[in-house]
Amino acid sequence: MADQAADSKPLNTVYGQASAPVTLTVYSSPTCPHCLEFERNYLPALRKDYVESRKLQITHKPFFAIRSTPLSLCLLKEKAASTKR
């Protein structure tokens, strides 16, 4: 069961149009106080000012740390996966 959880991909949330000229990818952890601050204080303004005007698309990718896995390792894995496409 633990292997299934490690292999499953978290659901990404996308705000905005695919045709937006800029895409912002946000990695955040539900247990991180800095991520929570961003979600509460900055994300609503970005959505109102840029997503609603179709200037920005935001892709939210939840980050779930397992045994203090550094975010940089997950980002490297994501980058490696995207270059294989």
**Residue 62: beta bridge partners?**
28
**Residue 16: beta bridge partners?**
none
Question: Could you tell me the pTM of the whole model?
Answer: 0.62
* CB of 11 closer than 8 Å to CB of 60: no
Torsion, Cα of 11, 15, 18, 21 (10° steps):
-130
Q: What is the per-residue pLDDT across 40-83, written as a single tens digit (0 to 9) for each?
A: 999 999 999 999 999 999 999 887 765 555 566 666 666 666 66
CATH-assigned architecture of domain 2-83: 3-Layer(aba) Sandwich (3.40)
* CB of 20 closer than 8 Å to CB of 56: yes
* CB of 23 closer than 8 Å to CB of 57: yes
